[in-house]
Amino acid sequence: MIVLLMVLTALLTVVFFVVLLRFLAAIAARLHSIGGSLGQINVEVAGVQGHTSFITPELTKLNNGLGSANAGLAAVDGGLVALAEAAVAQRGYR
């Protein structure tokens, strides 16, 4: 009886390790396919970075120009407000 239990234990241990190895092989295969996908994504991101690298200096120039336009429009706004206030303050306005 003891020999039978020892043989069954050894057999179940072998079955356990075979199943464990199959699952580990399946996990490794899945990780390998994920690694390939990540490699492709990395190549594509590098390509996008190469195609968009010129944008930063141009955006800086654009931002500076828009800042100047903002300052000019603020001055125009101040002038228009002063003009409207002066028009309202005239005697014959009402």
Distances (CA, A) of 9 to 14, 16, 30: 9, 10, 31
pLDDT digits (tens, 9 = 90+) for 45-62: 999 988 888 898 999 999
pLDDT at 9 over 90: yes
Cα–Cα distance measured from residue 58 to residue 78, given in angstroms and rounded to the nearest whole number: 30
Check pLDDT > 70 for residue 76: yes
Q: Model pTM? A: 0.47
Locate 49 and state its tokens: 């970075």
Run of H or E including 1: none
* pLDDT number for residue 24: 98
